[in-house]
Amino acid sequence: MNETGKWLIIIGGAIVLIGLLWPWLGKIPWGRLPGDIVIERGDSRFYFPLTTMIIVSIVLSLILSFFRR
């Protein structure tokens, strides 16, 4: 099997896994973690999920390093 086929199977499996875990993933406070920046002034709102991005980056790095080995 070529590389593209392997990656499509991995991505498809990840989508299925996320779909199965979705009821529990909804209870995690994504985007509302301490360290996320929210600035509200008048009618405008600026949102920068700094902590959430760091956690997602670490998790994705661990998953990708696992599949490389």
Query: Is the same domain home to 63 and 52?
Result: yes
Query: Is the same domain home to 22 and 41?
Result: no
Q: How many domains does the chain have?
A: 2
Segments forming the whole domain that contains residue 24: 1-28
Q: CA of 7: how far to CAs of 13, 43, 60, in Å?
A: 10, 44, 15
End-to-end CA distance of the chain: 18
What whole-number percentage of the chain has pLDDT above 70? 94
Query: Is the same domain home to 15 and 36?
Result: no
Query: Is the same domain home to 41 and 63?
Result: yes
**Does the global pTM surpass 0.85?**
no
Query: Is the same domain home to 6 and 39?
Result: no
| Per-residue pLDDT band at 35 (split at 50, 70, 90) | confident
Query: Is the same domain home to 44 and 69?
Result: yes
